[in-house]
Structure 1
Amino acid sequence: MNQIIDRPGVNTDAAKGKGERTRERILEIAEQAVLQKGFGATSIEEIICEAEITKSGFFYHFKDKNELARALLLRHIDQDEIILDQVFNRGQELTDDPLQQFLIGLKMLAELVEDLPNGHPGCLIAVYCYQERLFDQEVRQLNQQAVLGWRDRFRTILDRVVVQYPPNEPVDLDELADMVSTVVEGGIVMSKALGRPQMLANQIMLLRSFVKLLFAKQAG
């Protein structure tokens, strides 16, 4: 952990604040570059140049490129958690029905990505999967944990749903929980490949329709 040594005449709180801002700036620049062209093609030198810092300034925050990779992924996971909490907790605030909570959350997620002016910028988890040979075991395991975290989140939601809404077709709930990830990741890829940002939101809404039909109570 980076530490700032107290010295007479030095405002350590201000120095710490500046250091945190610099670290965040490095992460923002690195993330944009990695999403645009991959981790392997992103150099420390270009990050330093863009951030307008010295090489020693970079290594003060990150001892090597692999540590940068870990920090980027942890930051990405934290941001995902915040967004998903906001979206799906909102459904719980609006209704006690677990299926409706899930459907509301999916709709809000679709609206959220639809409002992105230039489409979704991409997903670090997918980039890391494609280039996993560049990372050490810790980063690879962290990436796997991020994927499993999505599964756990949506499996918990689905466990509540099936109590009141038995599915109309046999379904593995872990696989269904994973479907949220595959639709989102696939939607990002398709949106970028075809130059149609709207596709991601459309795919999420199709998933919502599938979930609604899967758990719809049959008349009679």
Structure 2
Amino acid sequence: MGRGEATRERILAIAESAVLAKGFGATSIEELIAEAGITKSGFFYHFHDKNALARALLERYMAREDAQLDDVFARGRELAGDPLHGFLAGLKLLAETMSDLPGDYPGCLVATYCYQERLFDRDVRELNRRIVLRWRLRFSAILDEIVVQQPPRAPVDTQALADMVSTIIEGGLVLSRATGDSQILPTQLMLLRHYIQLLFEP
């Protein structure tokens, strides 16, 4: 990693911590500059305004979440031979991962942006929309595969069910942050896992 790239990554890490602590609107460019030990022109070299910083944070979050979900559900599929039990194993692994995190979930960034959408330009809102649609596509592809091999007990729209998975994850993040109880999200994931079992297992 070159010096410029390392500086950019340091700014993003500082910004993420500040946003998790107090929200995006209350995070100032000046405090990020001071914490990073750079000049104002140094900051604007990497991010021409606060919206550019928001886009970069979301892109960083998206890449990290994609990698984590890829890993968790690939490991779940390795543990079980069929799509249903692979997905169930993946949900359990995700719940365990979330339970073991030492602090706030970086995924709270997305929730923060959703609540403060008026602060952002069209590009940031579009990126946020793309994140939601990517999650829908990810989970609906898994669920479509499950439906082929194991018909559900009742008719199910796999895209709506995929949105339910995303809603539980993001809603669990919001509730965990609001209450200070880090176990809410893992508990919700295990309840979702039980529901999927009841829906698909014979």
TM-score band (shorter)? over 0.9
Unpaired runs of 5+ residues, structure 2, are: none
Alignment-derived partner of residue 182 in structure 1: 167
Match of 1:155 among 132, 140, 158: 140
Unpaired runs of 5+ residues, structure 1, are: 1-15
Structure 1: how far apart are the matches of 2:176 and 2:44? 36
Name which one, 1 or 2, has greater alpha-carbon Rg.
Answer: 1
Alignment-derived partner of residue 17 in structure 1: 2
Alignment-derived partner of residue 198 in structure 2: 213
Structure 1 residues 124 and 195: CA distance shift in structure 2, 3 A: closer
Matched, 1:62 2:47: yes
The farther-off stretch of 137-146 and 164-173 is 164-173
Alignment of 1:159-174 (within 5 A): 159-174=144-159
Alignment-derived partner of residue 61 in structure 2: 76
Aligned-pair CA distance for 1:170: 2.1
Q: Which one-letter code corresponds to 1:79 in the other structure?
A: R
Deviations 1:8-31 (A, max 9, x none): xxxxxxxx7111111000001111
- Give the alignment's TM-score, normalised by structure 2: 0.96
- 8 Å CA contact 1:31–1:72 kept in 2: the answer is yes
- Give the alignment's TM-score, normalised by structure 1: 0.88
Q: Size of the alignment, in residue pairs? A: 202
Q: Which one-letter code corresponds to 2:184 in the other structure?
A: M
Say which SS state the counterpart of residue 105 (structure 2) adopts: coil
Structure 1 residues 121 and 52: CA distance shift in structure 2, 3 A: same
- 8 Å CA contact 2:61–2:106 kept in 1: the answer is no
Matched, 1:47 2:21: no
Cα RMSD for the two superposed structures? 1.3
Q: Which has the higher helix share?
A: 2
Alignment-derived partner of residue 83 in structure 2: 98
Deviations 1:62-110 (A, max 9, x none): 1111111111110100000000000001122223300011001000000
Q: Which one-letter code corresponds to 1:71 in the other structure?
A: A
- 8 Å CA contact 2:176–2:184 kept in 1: the answer is yes
Say which SS state the counterpart of residue 27 (structure 2) adopts: coil
Structure 1 residues 200 and 83: CA distance shift in structure 2, 3 A: same
Alignment-derived partner of residue 108 in structure 1: 93
Instruction: Could you list the structure 1 runs, at least 4 aligned residues long, displaced by more than 6 angstroms after superposition.
Output: none
Structure 1 residues 176 and 95: CA distance shift in structure 2, 3 A: same
Structure 1: how far apart are the matches of 2:30 and 2:105? 26
Aligned-pair CA distance for 1:143: 0.4
Structure 1 residues 115 and 45: CA distance shift in structure 2, 3 A: same
Alignment of 1:98-137 (within 5 A): 98-137=83-122
